[in-house]
Amino acid sequence: MKPKHDTKRSIFTLAALALLAAAPLSQAMEAAPLPSARAALGAERQALSPALPGIRTDKGIDKLDDYHETDVWGRIRSGYAIPDLNNALVTRHAQAYANHPANLSRISGRASPYLYHVVSELEKRGMPTELALLPVIESAFNPQAMSSANAAGLWQFVPGTGKDFDLRQNMFKDERRGVVASTDAALSYLQRLYTMFGDWPLALAAYNWGEGNVQRAIKKNQELGKPTDFESLAELMPAETRNYVPKLQAVKNVVANPSQYGVTLPAIDNQPYFTMVDKTSDIDLAIAAQLAEMSLDEFKALNPQFKKPVIIGGERTKILLPTENAEKFHINLAQWGNALSTWTTHKITGARVSIAQLASKFGTTPEVIRQANNIPPQSRLKAGSTILVPKTSATNHGDIAENIIENAVVAFEADRGKAKRNASRFKAKAGASSNGKRIARNTSSKRKQR
């Protein structure tokens, strides 16, 4: 990012020179190229927190790094602080990126809207900036990623851990997918694990495997008189965890020197990509995207936590928009003369209510009801379910109530009546087909006889 004022450039330059002149390694740093100087500054950062050596606390130097770097990748490189791991697994995973350079390039492109925010949050907490690369391993920087263990989002929180870190999960939203909320939770969790183990590789292993498992592995090696560092415990870990830290190291190596691995990292400007907009009233996703002058897909990419076609308002509800689109949003919102939300909720009280009946009641189609509520085909709603339906003149036009938001559930069951009807139709068609074949065979026989 280019500086806006020459005065600011002069002030920062003088500050940088003053810091370098005051450093104990000033002579070596003056003679060294810029990357080496940054490495020396990184060593100083490490020494500033004796109790937690992996946590950087000097925000002044971080701000200088932020100023000098025009690309977020350079900012990440300048904040590396986790000791390097060098083993066969690291080499193997780094070689995999070298063999398929398009993979990391594609993931990096997907990361571009989020990476500045993640790096900034790490620096605010004084944490190693290579942790910004962890979602490459976790989710390939896809906020919609879902694992077989039901872990979701960039940082792959399972439901229970998400709740532990106040990530709301209800019918309308899943904050494990939200970029800002999940990043805050993940960094808090990583800090807690680092405080617990005093070692980043072990903290990372615990993030993947669970702190209890890592603690038991440490205890086992202690009882056997063996070391308790990551590599010494690796043989006790499942394959996924054994490869977890080496994979991060491999990504770290590639980002440090992309050309060595034949990888091209798309440039990511060292400036905020998005800003947060408070929304205290309900608004349709499509209307929000329209007001922001964005495509619906672009809007969803920044706001993947919203599960329904309506965003529920409230004190905690924030939508993310690129800065220029946020300005358009506010201007267009002030001029908007229509309803912001076209959806409300309806509770199913009887087990015999069909989707077709609901669609007729709310002036829509069965397909709209099914899509809005993710109702599988050939299934029906159980009594007690709360679903999203279009607003009508007969329904309440207010916002959806907080108690509904937190307690609403949707449950399905197979539509046995429909299945029986389909089976009957199938038998009827099969019977008609068989009769047709018999008639054809009889006709053919008569022709032969003639």
Q: What would the two tokens of residue 357 be?
A: 């009946």
- Residues in Cβ contact with 327 at an 8 Å cutoff, skipping those fewer than 6 apart: none
Instruction: Say whether both 121 and 256 belong to one domain.
Output: yes
pLDDT at 439 over 60: no
Instruction: Say whether both 220 and 352 belong to one domain.
Output: no
3-12, 247-256, 268-277, 321-330: least confident range: 3-12
Helices (H), 198-336: 200-209, 211-223, 230-233, 239-256, 285-291, 296-302, 323-335
Instruction: Say whether both 227 and 357 belong to one domain.
Output: no
Cβ contact 53:46 at 8 Å: yes
Does any domain span residue 149?
yes
Instruction: Give the model confidence (pLDDT) of 136-165 as tens digits.
Output: 999 999 999 999 999 999 999 999 999 999
pLDDT of residue 414: 87
- Residues in Cβ contact with 442 at an 8 Å cutoff, skipping those fewer than 6 apart: none
Region 113-128: mean pLDDT is 98
The band of 216, judged by pLDDT with boundaries at 50, 70 and 90, is very high
Nearest residue to 36 (alpha-carbon basis) of 20, 50, 22: 20
pLDDT at 17 over 80: no
pLDDT at 57 over 50: no
pLDDT at 449 over 70: no
pLDDT of residue 72: 97
Q: What would the two tokens of residue 236 be?
A: 């006790």
Region 163-191: mean pLDDT is 98
Instruction: Say whether both 38 and 151 belong to one domain.
Output: no
pLDDT of residue 436: 52
Specify burial of residue 47 (Cβ count, 10 A radius: 0-12, 13-18, 19+).
Answer: exposed
Distance CA 409, CA 89 (A): 45
Q: What would the two tokens of residue 329 be?
A: 């949003």
* CA angle (161, 140, 66) in 5-degree steps: 90
pLDDT at 21 over 50: no
Does any domain span residue 234?
yes
Instruction: Say whether both 116 and 238 belong to one domain.
Output: yes
Instruction: Say whether both 163 and 61 belong to one domain.
Output: no
Exactly one of 69, 123, 130, 138 is catalytic; name it: 138
Instruction: Say whether both 319 and 388 belong to one domain.
Output: no
Number of domains the chain is built from? 4
The band of 426, judged by pLDDT with boundaries at 50, 70 and 90, is very low
Cβ contact 158:183 at 8 Å: no
Instruction: Say whether both 291 and 247 belong to one domain.
Output: no
Q: What would the two tokens of residue 80 be?
A: 């590396």
The band of 299, judged by pLDDT with boundaries at 50, 70 and 90, is very high
Distance CA 52, CA 55 (A): 6
Does any domain span residue 162?
yes
Instruction: Say whether both 53 and 98 belong to one domain.
Output: no
Instruction: Say whether both 188 and 242 belong to one domain.
Output: yes
Instruction: Say whether both 108 and 209 belong to one domain.
Output: yes
Cβ contact 329:321 at 8 Å: yes
Q: What is the CATH number of the domain that holds 390?
A: 3.10.350.10
Cβ contact 387:362 at 8 Å: no
Instruction: Give the model confidence (pLDDT) of 224-274 as tens digits.
Output: 999 999 999 999 999 999 999 999 999 999 999 999 999 999 999 999 999
CA-CA distances (angstroms) from residue 28 to 39, 64, 186, 371? 12, 19, 38, 64
For residue 35, what are the domain limits? 1-68
User: Residue 121 catalytic?
Assistant: no
Mean pLDDT of the chain: 83
pLDDT of residue 431: 52
Q: What is the CATH number of the domain that holds 237?
A: 1.10.530.10
Does any domain span residue 371?
yes
Does any domain span residue 12?
yes
Higher-confidence residue of 387 and 69: namely: 387
Does any domain span residue 96?
yes
Please count the other Cβ atoms lying within 10 Å of the Cβ belonging to residue 50. 7
pLDDT at 24 over 60: no
Percent of the chain whose pLDDT exceeds 90: 72
pLDDT of residue 12: 36
Instruction: Say whether both 102 and 19 belong to one domain.
Output: no
